[in-house]
Amino acid sequence: MDYRNKLVLAPMVRVGTLPFRLLAAQYGADITYGEEIIDHKLLKCERRINDVIGSTDIVEKGTENVVFRTCGEERNRVVFQMGTSDAVRALTAAQLVCKDVAAIDVNMGCPKAFSISGGMGAALLSKPELIHDILTMLKRNLWIPVTCKIRLLNSTHDSVELARRIEKTGVSAVAVHGRRVADRPRDPANWSEIATVVDALSIPVIANGDVFEFEDFQHIRSVTGASSVMIARGALWNASIFHPEGTPVEDVKREYVRKSILWDHDIKSTKYTLKEMIMHYTSLELPEGKAVTKSESLADIARVYGEEKYYESVHRMRNGVGDGSSPR
């Protein structure tokens, strides 16, 4: 995994699943992060090969609940992001997925209550010794790259000092979200402070924050000097942001629906992502939004977006009916 000069899909809860990661990659994302998954949950899972759709699934034992799904197509670019607060537990969890992903990332920036209350995410920012233990444990025992994603601390000095301590663990890169824990998405990202962190390190830094169109990739790199750029909301709203020419969001939504059908994606997650796309541009109270909200299956979603024939062709293929050609 090379972290220099890359366009990166940020980890997003309920969004960064296989269909959306493949969608972003189709439009030009070089590296795609999965949604954060907590180590406690992974310890209750097992790895299964899904021959029906051609995926590798991490599934809760004794259930059909897929916690993480990936495939060979993304093997060399997908990063598994983990929430953890314990080095031994982190390693045990990482060993379950490390055969199927390109790298492991530790979430050290999530400000959500569920993460902080468990000593994970942004709670780690005030525990440099624990950060060292977790990253060192992973680095010493895994054969794939290990990285982490942090937020800015309360002072530039503290941000730099923490980044330097992280670098000493031997990680391959560090992603820096240009906001502090108390900041909200509407608050502007501090690109100049990211630049200070970049200047202090020799490993690649991935800059994250306020990238909403393709031109912003070059802008944030020129301001921060970062090796690569990570994008979250801009990609959620229209994943073709990774392509210089872009694609109309209506076409992007249909492509996302096709990928969700192909990979038998969870209907709740599919609806959540589509609704986020819709709300940015229009309203859930318009016909499209209402139809997505009412949908109870991928077949319903297919009808909303005029993809009934695609849905049928995928299911004929899975049932061994048809000419054998792949709908991909």
- Return the H-helix or E-strand segment holding 95: helix 87-97
d(Cα 292, Cα 68) in Å, to the nearest integer? 24
Catalytic residue among 45, 71, 110, 148: 110
Tracing tokens 């953890």 back to the chain, one arrives at 84
Q: Find the Cα–Cα–Cα–Cα dihedral 80, 85, 86, 87, rounded to 10°.
A: 50
- Please choose, from the candidates 51, 38, 136, the residue with its C-alpha nearest in 3D space to the C-alpha of residue 87: 136
C-alpha 43/C-alpha 294 separation (Å) is: 34
Structural contact between residues 165 and 131, judged by C-beta atoms closer than 8 angstroms: yes
110 is catalytic: yes
Please work out, in degrees rounded to the nearest 5, the angle formed at the alpha carbon of residue 35 by the alpha carbons of 285 and 222.
95
Q: Which helix (H) or strand (E) holds 216?
A: helix 214-224
For residues 285 and 279, what is the distance between their CA atoms, to the nearest angstrom?
9
- Which neighbouring-strand residues pair with 218? none
Structure tokens given for 247: 């694609």
Cβ neighbors of 293 (< 8 A, separation 6 or more) are 271, 275, 284
* Rounded Cα distance, 261 and 312, in Å: 10
Question: Two tokens at 195?
Answer: 């630049």
d(CA 51, CA 318): 10
Is residue 144 within 8 A of residue 98, CB to CB? The reply is yes
Catalytic residue numbers, as ranges: 110
